Structure 1
Amino acid sequence: MLQVENLRKIYGETMKYEALKGIDLTVNDGEFIGIMGPSGSGKSTFLNLVATIDEPSSGKILLNGKDPHQLNQEEIAAFRRNQLGFVFQSFNLLPTLTVEENIVLPLTLDGEKVAVMKRQVKEVATRLGIGNLLKKRIAEISGGQAQRVAVARAMIHQPELVLADEPTGNLDTKSSKDVMGLLQQLNEEEKATILMVTHDPLAASYCERIVFIKDGKLVHEIRRQNDQQAFYNQIMEELAAIEGVDNEF
């Protein structure tokens, strides 16, 4: 569903910096993939390019065979709303709106009927265990609950691809496990395709596959077999081999 071919990103004019140096990656329908690597390795740059937040210097990004970077600004805005779901470290929720209003925001922007929005928000909120929070303001709920709201907003329009950037970065261990369990559940039960950047090996252990980026290059990848603890240990070993765990955290 996502095909990335020889993706490069260069910043600067006189002092050029090559953030990505020819990334190739195929993401199949229903995969849950983690992207890991040292700080400054190009992880977030890669995610921003897939999200059309930034433009590649060269190479291709194809989502279901189409290149979103060939669209005009209006079409790109519609593409983000309709085909992508976003989950951020900082939640990116609007504090002046209620939980319900935050969740339905993508549908509101698309001019969806109120009756449809009411039905869909009830369904997704119940599924994510936040049905009792719909009338609360964001300031009235916990960080873990806020991230559940962010996941609900990302999923309400059933996007082709969910992009998560350090989704557990501002959460305690219990909330992190809850949110990652939720993403894993959405992946397994609803076949949501998820691409997640993370520094956290525990969060990464919920993925099916981890790709490691270092110095702008995809250097290695590993797949989970069945045992999550064994996968966690394997991730720790890979991080130590690539950069040294002490430098990573």
Structure 2
Amino acid sequence: MLTIKNVSKIYNEGVTYQALKSIDLEIEAGEFVGIMGPSGSGKSTLLNLIGTIDQPTSGAIYLNGKEPAKLKSEELAKFRRNELGFIFQNFNLMPTLTVEENIILPLTLEGEKISVMKKKLKMIAIELGIDSLLKKKIATISGGQAQRVAIARAMIHEPKLILADEPTGNLDTRASADVMELLERLNQQKESTVLMVTHDPVAASYCKKIVFIKDGELVKQLNRQVERDVFYDSILETLREIEGVHHEF
């Protein structure tokens, strides 16, 4: 469902810098894929290109056969709203709106019928365990609850691909585990395709596959065919190999 062919990204802002070098990657529908690597390795750049926030310097990215980089601005905005769901480290919720207003925002922008919005809102709020929070303002709920709201907003319009950028970065250990268990369940039960950038090997251990980037290049891939704790150990070992140092996590 996602094909990345020979993608490179070069920034020319005073000093020329190549963030990505000839990336090739295939992601099948229903996969849960993590992207890991050292700081500055190109992880977020890759996610931004896939999310149509930026465009590759060369190469092509296809999502379900479409090449977003070739769409006109209005078509691209519609593509982004319909095909993609975004989850961010800092939640990116509207603090002046209630929980339910934040969740239905993608449907509101598409002019969806109120009856349809109410039905979808009820279903996803119950599924994510936030139905009791719907009338509350974002400022009054916890970080873990806010990330659940962000996940609900990302999924209410049933996008083809969920893009998560450090979704546990601002959460404590318990809230992080809750969010990752939720993403894993959504991936398994709804067959949602999830692509997640993370520096956290615990969060990464919930994925089915990890791709590692170093200096803008894909250098290794791990597939989860074992228990999560064993996969976690493999992730740690790979990070040590890639970074060339011993890390305590």
Same fold (TM over 0.5): yes
Distance in 2, matches of 1:13 and 1:124, equals: 43
Count residues with an aligned counterpart.
249
Equivalent residue number for residue 167 of structure 2: 167
Q: Secondary structure at the match of 2:15?
A: coil
Distance in 2, matches of 1:5 and 1:218, equals: 12
State how 1:83-94 maps to structure 2 within 5 Å: 83-94=83-94
Q: Secondary structure at the match of 1:111?
A: coil
Offset at residue 245 of structure 1 (A): 5.8
Structure 2 CA distance for partners of 1:132 and 1:98, relative to 1, 3 Å: same
List gaps (5 residues or longer) in structure 1.
none
Offset at residue 14 of structure 1 (A): 5.5
Equivalent residue number for residue 151 of structure 1: 151
Offset at residue 21 of structure 1 (A): 0.4
State how 1:89-238 maps to structure 2 within 5 Å: 89-238=89-238
Equivalent residue number for residue 10 of structure 1: 10
Q: Which runs of 4+ in 1 moved over 2 A?
A: 244-249
More displaced stretch, 11-20 vs 183-192 = 11-20
Residue deviations 1:87-134, cap 9 Å, x none? 000000000000000000000000001110001000000000000000
Offset at residue 55 of structure 1 (A): 1.1
Residue deviations 1:192-232, cap 9 Å, x none? 00000000000000000000000000000001113000000
Distance in 2, matches of 1:91 and 1:248, equals: 27
Maintained 8 Å contact 1:38/1:248: no
TM-score, structure 1 normalization: 0.98
Residue deviations 1:34-90, cap 9 Å, x none? 000000000000000000101110000000111011011111111111000000000
State how 1:17-28 maps to structure 2 within 5 Å: 17-28=17-28
Offset at residue 248 of structure 1 (A): 9.1
Maintained 8 Å contact 1:99/1:149: yes
Residue deviations 1:146-202, cap 9 Å, x none? 000000000001100000000000000000000000000000000000000000000
Structure 1 vs Structure 2 CA RMSD = 1.2
Amino acid of the structure 1 residue aligned with 2:118: K
Maintained 8 Å contact 1:236/1:245: no
Q: Secondary structure at the match of 1:188?
A: helix
TM-score, structure 2 normalization: 0.98
Structure 2 CA distance for partners of 1:122 and 1:5, relative to 1, 3 Å: same
Amino acid of the structure 1 residue aligned with 2:198: T
Offset at residue 18 of structure 1 (A): 0.4
Q: Secondary structure at the match of 2:23?
A: strand
Distance in 1, matches of 2:194 and 2:244, equals: 27
List gaps (5 residues or longer) in structure 2.
none
Maintained 8 Å contact 1:39/1:248: no
Equivalent residue number for residue 56 of structure 2: 56
Amino acid of the structure 2 residue aligned with 1:182: L
Q: Secondary structure at the match of 1:94?
A: coil
More displaced stretch, 236-245 vs 80-89 = 236-245
Distance in 2, matches of 1:54 and 1:23, equals: 15
